[in-house]
Amino acid sequence: MWKSALLSPAGRLVLIRTVLLALPIYYMATSRIPKAVLDEITSMVRRFFWGKVDKQRYLAYVSWDKIMQPVEMGGLGVRDLQATNESMLMKFLWRMAAGSEALWVKIVKAKYFPRSDLWHSKRDYKCTGFWNNMMKLRAVLQLWLQWRIGGGDVCGAFAQPWFKGALDCKPTEESQRQLLVRDLMDVESGSWDVDRLIQCFGYTNCMEILANVEPPIPGATGDSLIFNKRSGVAKGKNVSLETNP
C-alpha cells in the first residue's frame, strides 16, 4: 500500500532500512540465502529508493555500491544483504572456532567432528543444510583469524593461521602432523629453533616467523584465537574488530 511517490527520498530510505531490509534478517541468521534471491530483493529495494516500483527503466544518479557504504564514508548505510547473511552465519563458526562451551556447540562437535577440529572436519552427504553452509564459509572465516601465541600448547604448527602463510604450509613428514607451536622452540635458549623452522616451513616463512611472532613462553596461558585486523583479506576489506574468546 506504500506509494514511493508519496515519500521523500529520506522517507524511502528510512522505510528501506527499518522494514524492507529488516524482514529477511531472521532467515539470514539461520540459513544461507541463494544469491539470486538476495539480488532480487536488492533490485526491488533499489527501484523503491529511486521511486520506481514497476519494471520501467530508470536512471540511478549514484551507484548502489556507494549507497551501501557506511555513513561516515559518505554512503547511506544501506545493508549489503549478501555480506550481512555471511557475517551472521560466520558468528556460529567463530563461536565453534573459539571453543565456546555452549550446549549447541558441544552437540555440533559431537556430531560432525568428535575426533578432530573445525578446520579438519569434512562434509558428507548426511550433513544438514546448516552444516553444509558452515563448511562453505569456513575458508572465508579462516582468512580473518590468527592465533595469538601464549604458551604454544594449543595451536598446531600446521593448518593453523599463526603466521602469514601458515595455511599454505603442509607437513612433509608424518611426525610433523602432531607438532604444536611450542615444539618449534629451543627449550634451553627460550627462542625459536631456527633449524627446525627452516626444515618445516622453508627459509622465507622462517624469516616471517622470526620477524613477526614472539616465541612461546613456557608456563604462559594458552593460545587464543583473534580476528586479525592487519591482514584480513576476505573480499579485499579490512578488519576493524579484534576480540578473543
Task: Give the pLDDT confidence of 89-134 residue by residue, as tens digits.
Answer: 988 888 888 778 899 899 988 888 888 778 777 777 678 888 888 8
Determine, yes or no, domain membership for 240: no
Determine, yes or no, domain membership for 243: no
Q: Kindly report whether the global pTM for this prediction surpasses the value 0.85.
A: no
List residues bridging with 191 in a β-sheet: 186
Give yes or no: residues 71 and 127 share one domain: no
Determine, yes or no, domain membership for 242: no
Q: Which residue has the cell 629453533?
A: 193
Determine, yes or no, domain membership for 16: yes
Determine, yes or no, domain membership for 108: yes
Determine, yes or no, domain membership for 149: yes
3-state SS class at 180 = strand
Biggest alpha carbon–alpha carbon distance for the chain: 77
Give yes or no: residues 114 and 153 share one domain: no
- Per-residue pLDDT reduced to its tens digit, 182-239: 999 888 888 999 999 999 999 999 999 999 888 888 877 778 888 776 544 333 343 3
* Distance (Å) of CA 165 to CA 18, 63, 208, 231, 238: 42, 36, 9, 11, 18
Give the C-alpha separation, 5 to 12, whole Å.
Answer: 9
- Per-residue pLDDT reduced to its tens digit, 55-66: 667 777 888 888
51 in Cβ contact with 16 (< 8 Å): no
243 in Cβ contact with 226 (< 8 Å): yes
Determine, yes or no, domain membership for 241: no
Give the C-alpha separation, 12 to 8, whole Å.
Answer: 6
Residue 53 has pLDDT above 90, yes or no: no
Strands 224-227 and 185-186: unpaired
Give yes or no: residues 156 and 188 share one domain: yes
What percent of the chain is modeled with pLDDT above 90?
A: 12
Residue 37 has pLDDT above 90, yes or no: yes
Give the C-alpha separation, 163 to 73, whole Å.
Answer: 31
Q: Please state the domain count of the chain.
A: 3
Nearest alpha carbon to residue 201 among 163, 175, 234: 163
206 in Cβ contact with 197 (< 8 Å): yes
Nearest alpha carbon to residue 243 among 90, 94, 89: 94
Give yes or no: residues 156 and 179 share one domain: yes
Locate 116 and state its grid cell.
Answer: 578432530
Q: Which of 96, 114, 142 delimits the end of a domain?
A: 142
Range of the domain at 97: 86-142
Determine, yes or no, domain membership for 244: no
Give the C-alpha separation, 41 to 213, whole Å.
Answer: 45
Mutual orientation of helices 81-97 and 129-142 as an angle, nearest 10°?
90
Give yes or no: residues 106 and 159 share one domain: no
Q: Can you give the pLDDT at residue 125? A: 67
